[in-house]
Structure 1
Amino acid sequence: MRLSRGVPFLAAVLTAVTLTGPAPAVSAAAETGGHCARLERVRVPGAALQRGACLDDLTTTGLTGTRYTDLADQAGLTAAGTKTPSGVPGIQIDGYFPDSSRFNATHGWRHDAQFVIRLPDHWNGGLVVTGAPGNRKQYATDKAISDRVLAQGYAYAATDKGNSGTDFYRDGVRPGDAVAEWNARTTQLTRAARRVAAQRYGHAPRRTYITGISNGGYLTRWQLENHPGLYDGGVDWEGALWTADGPSLLTSLPTAVARTLGSARDEDLYAGGFARGSEFLWPYHENAYWGVTQKIYRAEFDPSYDPRCPGGSAGSSLEEILAPCASDAAYDYGARPASVHRAVARVALTGRIGKPLITLHGDLDALLPKAADSDVYARMIDARGRGALHRYYTVRGGTHVDGLYDTYPDRLRPILPCYRSAFDALTSWVEWGTPPPADHTVGEPADGDVIDSCPLR
């Protein structure tokens, strides 16, 4: 029963959704210079197509059932009882930048490099930018991130990263091209959104923050290492770690696939960084994450290893998509040719962040085990002499997607409330010079609202 509740989360992620619902109420005040003023001036630099709308509520509460969000693409990221704010009027701009790939079918466009930019009427002078987690699209973090930052007064921008879905690796020419595009699209959107804010409000954002979940957390790390001048800081929620010589997904997941296929023991997973105590989550991950994740990222960086699997596609049915490749159980990244390591090096992290960064990671993450990910990245930051710019909080009972809390409320806790506290801590750190708490483990609360409350003290 628990598995049957979990698999639809991934099924929703793997399904391209074209939204055709009705538009929410559009205010006539936009024509009088009040609500949504300057809508006619907003032009997204470099966009091949854009569509602007003046909306009475930019949050998921107001957008549910319309073409301005996609609840299916958000499935599983938040706990069912999560509270979110509503009633934020303003402008939404949907569109895409020029691109040659066609994975994203949202709005019927079948065009990648899609983005959403939201501009609240009551602006606090800031901008929050994110990229989609996993292989999802631009609306994936509407409930987890967009709703709250909009209610706080921030403008918000999100990208599909330039490719999406389980066949994302088919984008590009060289190994690593698809992931490299993620970084370029995030930079592109940040620059464009800053100019859009200036058009709408009369001046550029005074503060710009980068943030994200999973692959969005990786983007946060990479942007603060490579384009720190664009941002004032970031919050990294369990970002994926890519390093040329490991660790990475390609060094931890083969053992998990081998266990799925019966050729590895639990002890082998512990040696690879998987946490003791996370075993109850492994059956779900065996069926929904490990196999598909290993094969599509191996296809991205090392397509010559087994050209038949996944071949031209990760699969045409959900069963085919989720099935592991038998050859991946024996995958040895360290023994692969130098060309594979060079492909990963193109998108690798170094730890050389240039602006404040807060990292959160659940101690029961069974997809990106923190011992092989954020623990390592924290050491990389320290080795680069950037430790003063970093805070790292382990969330006890946290796992990779908060939706699993609904299945295991007695064993897990959502990370989202801790993320919200971390974002507030970051802005206080940047804007008021108030240092966040030192690195520590955020313990499980003895009582109270675990879904919506998580003090970092």
Structure 2
Amino acid sequence: MRSSCGSPSRLWQRGLPAALALAALVLTPVPATAASPAPDGHCANLARVGVPGAEYQQTACMEELTTAGTVASGHTDPADWAGLTPKNLTVPSGVPGIQIDGYFPDTSTTNTNHGWNHDAQFVIRLPDDWNGGLVVAGTPGNREQYANDRAISDWVLSRGYAYAATDKGNTGAAFYRDGKTPGDAIAEWNDRLTQLTRAARATVTRHYGRVPSRTLVTGMSNGGYLVRWQLENHPELYDGGVDWEGTLWRSDGPTLLNFLPKALRDFPVYAAGGEDAPQARQAMHAAGFPAGSEFLWPYHYRVYWDLTQRIYREELDPGFDGATEAGTPYCPAGTPQCDTDYDYAARPDSVRKAVQKIALTGRIGKPLITLQGTLDVLLPISQDSDVYARMVREAGRGGLYRYYRIEGGTHTDALFDMFPDRLRPLTPCYRAAFTALDGWLTTGRRPPASHSVPLPVGADATTLLDDCSLDGPGKGRLPSAS
């Protein structure tokens, strides 16, 4: 029987989108705890801080808003961002200001941060030395609101931006239990980021006494998907965005439900060796997993492919395995109702309708930069960003778009620590893309044309951790994306 834990959210019955729009206009009284501002003006206007629509919030005057201080002070959770960045990544410091933690009304309870057991949690950080900008983000995977702290928040705060992030309204491997119908849990992610953006803009305006000069949306993986969706559906809220390997959803594919089952079928045959191994390897390549990425396949088989396929299939096609919840882990081909044999094309139209609820179109309305690593084997680049770049061009929005294929990059930068001689971290390339977007918006300097960014020959690990240049034409035309 399907578990009763995490009852479906009643927000969808009450009309969440309308409620979010209303919440952005009304500053509701909320319980709050706050320290007094220091006499020198540090944390000035603390008493004016308030997040529109929040059910609960607590504020803190902080000597350090980056993880250089928030780990010790308890204002972040390292478990949220574990595995996303290289261990030797430089952590900026010296950013005093205000942090606001809280949550919006919600009925699901998957997020346990602060012991609140309440979803729709957010964090907003307001640096004392503000550059006039605001960065908003959703989280990768099914992580909680602090997941971007080391990869994104630290760096943008050090550049003077205010920062806000949401847990997307549901978290964890059983996120699919939220919502009333298939696709609702992921659809809530989009609405929650819209909600946070409106609330954060109002909070920043009230705190600093003027509206943000620019609002940028950014994120990695599922957070990158949210960037794409926001710029397609709510461009009026943003000035631009950086999409770091965003997940692609299209009702006619490709999606992860197309290629992950193929990996689950063919990788064990390849790994076993024998006469069928070469054919299985070619089948993996044909499914989108690039030649040269084979050294990453065992880790992704153990950690990512099986779990990702099962939980996202459960969210979008729960009827596939009947009463079983999220399938059977690592079931061999031929097992009844086994995700290893899942065939998206053969599933009923209702499944494609669920995917259409969250689908992307490529019709962005503000400048967007996408970057993805060529050795990404969770979301293979040929099945993801190459396709999205083509969608943007075919939608007639190519003038608003830049796409950089980062040679040697993979999906999570912690793998750089395991294979420093074969991979490059994407974090420095993300920072270069963010800087390019900032220049595009503030000075009108257009970023380099879309291209493949080569892995520097002979570069050592230390250099790769600190440098990534997007300049130059790279190694030529992009596949279906230039």
Residues 1:287 and 2:287 aligned together? no
Please report how far the alpha carbon of residue 206 of structure 1 lies from its aligned counterpart in structure 2 after TM superposition. Answer: 1.0
Give the letter for the 1:401 counterpart.
T
Task: Answer yes or no: is the 8 Å Cα contact 2:214–2:239 preserved in 1.
Answer: yes
Match of residue 442 from structure 2: 431
CA drift of 1:98 comes to 0.4
Q: Which residue is 1:451 aligned to?
A: 465
Q: Identity over the aligned pairs, expressed in percent?
A: 60
Write out per-residue CA displacement over residues 211-249 of structure 1, whole angstroms, 9 at most, x where no aligned residue: 000000000000000000000000000000000110111
In structure 2, the residue matched to 1:120 is 127
Aligned to 1:412: 423
Any gaps of 5 or more consecutive residues in structure 1?
A: 1-25, 315-319
Q: Measure, in 2, the Cα distance between the counterparts of 1:310 and 1:295.
A: 9
Give the Cα separation in 1 of the matches to 2:42 and 2:83: 34
SS in 2 for 1:32: coil
Q: Deviations over 1:322-358 (max 9, x none)?
A: 6468511111111111111000000000000000000
Which residue identity lines up with residue 311 of structure 2 in the other structure? I
Please name the residue that 1:133 is paired with.
Answer: 140
The Cα shift of 1:269 comes to 1.6
Contact 1:295 1:309 in 2 (8 A): no
The alignment status of 1:394 with 2:405, answered yes or no, reads: yes
* Aligned-partner residue type, residue 170 of structure 2: N
The question of whether the paired residues in 2 share the 8 Å contact of 1:168 and 1:178 is answered with yes
Is the CA contact 1:360–1:395 (under 8 Å) kept in the aligned structure 2? yes
Distance 1:309 1:407 in 2: 36
Matched, 1:268 2:283: yes
Q: Which residue of 2 aligns with 1:3?
A: none
Rounded Cα–Cα distance in structure 1 between residues aligned with 2:361 and 2:369 = 16
Q: How many Å apart are 1:443 and its aligned residue?
A: 1.1
| Amino acid corresponding to residue 241 of structure 2 in structure 1 | G
CA distance in 1, matches of 2:40, 2:94: 20
User: How many Å separate the matches in 2 of 1:51 and 1:276?
Assistant: 50
Verify the 8 A CA contact 2:35 2:60 in the aligned structure 1.
Answer: no
Show the counterpart of 1:257.
264
What SS class does the counterpart of residue 450 from structure 1 fall into?
helix
Higher mean displacement: 289-298 or 33-42: 33-42
Structure 1: how far apart are the matches of 2:455 and 2:153? 26
Structure 1 stretch displaced more, 366-375 or 436-445: 436-445
Give the counterpart of 2:369 among 341, 355, 358: 358
Kindly tell me: are residues 121 and 323 of structure 1, through their superposed partners in 2, closer, same or farther at Cα, counting changes over 3 Å? Answer: farther
Asked if 1 retains the 8 angstrom alpha-carbon contact of 2:267 and 2:284, the reply is: no
Q: Which residue of 2 aligns with 1:7?
A: none
Instruction: Name the SS of the counterpart of 2:73 in structure 1.
Output: coil
- The answer as to 2:64 corresponding to 1:57 is yes
Cα displacement (A) at 1:268: 1.7
**AA in 2 matched with 1:418:** C
8 A Cα contact 1:36 1:121, kept in partner: yes
Tell me if 1:403 matches 2:414.
yes
Partner in structure 1 of residue 5 of structure 2: none
What CA distance in whole angstroms lies between the structure 2 residues aligned with 1:33 and 1:215?
A: 41
2:317 aligned residue (302, 305, 309) = 302
- TM normalised by structure 2 equals 0.85
Does 1:72 pair with 2:79? Answer: yes
Pair 1:443–1:45, CA change in 2 (3 A): same
For the 8 Å contact 1:133–1:213, the answer to whether it is kept is: yes
Residues 1:242 and 2:249 are matched in the alignment = yes
Q: What CA distance in whole angstroms lies between the structure 1 residues aligned with 2:330 and 2:235?
A: 39
1:52 alignment partner, SS class: strand
Match of 2:211 among 204, 217, 222: 204
Moved more, 65-74 or 393-402: 65-74
Note the alpha carbon deviations across 1:102-134, whole angstroms, 9 max, x for none. Answer: 000000000000000000001011000000101
TM-score normalised by the chain length of structure 1? 0.90
SS at match of 1:451: helix
Partners in 1 of 2:125 and 2:80 — Cα distance? Answer: 18
1:84 matched to which residue of 2?
91
State the one-letter code of the partner of 1:456.
L
CA distance in 2, matches of 1:367, 1:189: 28
8 Å CA contact 1:257, 1:324 repeated in 2: no
Computing the radius of gyration from Cα coordinates, the structure with the larger value is: 2
Structure 1 Cα separation of the partners of residues 57 and 38 of structure 2: 19
Q: Does structure 2 conserve the Cα–Cα contact (< 8 Å) formed by 1:290 and 1:367?
A: yes
Among residues 54, 57, 62, which one is paired with 1:47 in the alignment?
54
Query: Which whole-Å deviations, capped at 9, do the CAs of 1:15-49 have from their partners, x for residues lacking one?
Result: xxxxxxxxxxx986x15371111111111111110
Q: Partner of 2:411: helix, strand, or coil?
A: coil
* 8 Å contact from structure 1 (residues 79, 414) kept in 2: yes
Q: Count residues with an aligned counterpart.
A: 423
String of CA shifts for 1:331-386, please: whole Å, max 9, x gaps.
11111111110000000000000000000010000100000000000000000000
Taking the TM superposition and a 5 Å limit, the aligned residue runs for 1:183-202 are: 183-202=190-209
Report the Cα distance in structure 2 between the residues aligned to 1:324 and 1:380, rounded to whole angstroms. 35
CA distance in 1, matches of 2:212, 2:446: 23
Q: Please state whether the residue corresponding to 1:445 is helix, strand or coil.
A: coil
Tell me which residue corresponds to 2:185.
178
For the residue of structure 2 that corresponds to 1:62, the secondary structure is: helix
Measured in 1, the distance between the counterparts of 2:157 and 2:150 equals 11
- C-alpha offsets along residues 242-278 of structure 1, whole Å, 9 cap, x if unaligned? 0011011111111011124549812222111111100
Native 8 Å contact 1:290 1:324 kept in 2: no
Counterpart Cα distance in 2 of 1:109 and 1:96: 9
Q: Secondary structure at the match of 1:57?
A: coil
What one-letter code is carried by the residue in structure 1 that aligns with 2:383?
A: A
